[in-house]
């Protein structure tokens, strides 16, 4: 996948992310103990032990790890490494009985680490929950804004070019991050429609809690039109 430039900002491709085909003296893949690898403090992507995880673990048993993880060193008081990409692989390695996994260690500041984490997972994961996509978009946009992406190339334009989602759709995903956890979980499990959830996100958290209670008490779910009326009130 080639690197696509937008102004002076380049969207990271897989080859760039993992330095495929690098020459001597560049970054190298290193085997690191699983106990030294830690998920980021905020990681919007779920890592669950489902059937896909079991299949990945079995593949690793047979063929080994095919793609290295990507990490950065944690602070001296913490020790070990922050695993930005490869947390599913780490769990699969644990299930497969391995004690190490191949990792590229890169020096990154907090914003660079956030952008790298989101880019790697968006590129590698075929299916994302609504909550995963929503928080991934928010994390990347905030990191881009911190890095001074302003003016002619707004952070929304960068994310739009990378994902193919329109600015309006990106905004709608961002609205989901304003939902209380119980409502966001209902979006992921299709108990509330995406469009209705966007409208409900404009309610206060206290009002959203009332919606959750009513759904449980009366075994109902708000439609889009009902959600619009709730928002207006």
Task: Assess whether pLDDT exceeds 50 at residue 24.
Answer: no
The model carries a pTM of 0.78
CA end-to-end span of the chain: 48
Structure-block tokens of residue 195: 């469009």
Task: Assess whether pLDDT exceeds 60 at residue 16.
Answer: no
Considering only CA atoms, which of 86, 211, 194 is closest in space to residue 133?
A: 194
Considering only CA atoms, which of 30, 92, 31 is closest in space to residue 63?
A: 92
Other C-beta atoms closer than 10 Å to the C-beta of 56 total 19
The predicted-structure confidence for 97-149, as pLDDT tens digits, reads as follows 999 999 999 999 999 999 999 998 888 777 899 999 999 999 999 988 876 65
- Percentage of residues in the chain having pLDDT higher than 90: 70
Domains of the chain from N-terminus onward: 4-162 (3.90.1530.30), 178-232 (no CATH)
In angstroms, the CA 214 to CA 229 distance is 16
Q: Where are the alpha helices (DSSP H) in 20-166?
A: 51-63, 87-96, 110-124, 130-146, 155-163
pLDDT band at 186 (very low <50, low <70, confident <90, very high): very high
Geometric angle at alpha carbon 16, from 13 and 22, rounded to 5°: 150
In angstroms, the CA 108 to CA 71 distance is 9
Report CA torsion sign: 51, 53, 55, 61.
negative
Question: Burial, 194: exposed, middle or buried (Cβ in 10 Å; 0-12, 13-18, 19+)?
Answer: middle
The residues pairing with 203 across neighbouring beta strands, listed in sequence order, are none
| Average pLDDT score over the chain | 86
In angstroms, the CA 84 to CA 71 distance is 5
């Amino acid at each position: 996948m080639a690197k696509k430039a937008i102004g002076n900002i380049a969207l990271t491709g897989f080859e760039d992310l993992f330095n495929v085909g690098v020459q001597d003296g560049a970054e190298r893949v290193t085997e690191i103990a699983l106990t030294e690898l830690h998920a980021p403090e905020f990681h919007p992507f779920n890592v669950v032990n489902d059937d896909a995880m079991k299949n990945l673990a079995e593949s690793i048993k047979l063929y080994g790890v095919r793609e290295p993880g990507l990490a950065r060193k944690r602070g001296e008081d913490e020790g070990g490494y922050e695993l930005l990409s490869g947390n599913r692989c780490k769990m699969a390695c644990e299930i497969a009985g391995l004690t190490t996994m191949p990792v590229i260690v890169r020096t990154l500041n907090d914003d660079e680490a956030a952008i790298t984490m989101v880019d790697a997972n968006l590129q590698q994961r075929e299916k994302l929950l609504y909550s995963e996509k929503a928080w991934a978009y928010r994390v990347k946009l905030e990191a881009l804004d911190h890095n001074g992406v302003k003016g002619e190339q707004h952070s929304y334009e960068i994310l739009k070019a990378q994902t193919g989602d329109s600015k309006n759709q990106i905004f709608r995903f961002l609205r989901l991050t304003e939902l209380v956890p119980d409502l966001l979980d209902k979006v992921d499990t299709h108990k509330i429609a995406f469009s209705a959830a966007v409208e409900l996100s404009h309610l206060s958290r206290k009002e959203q809690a009332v919606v959750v209670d009513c759904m449980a008490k009366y075994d109902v779910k708000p439609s889009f039109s009902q959600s619009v009326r709730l928002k207006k009130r």
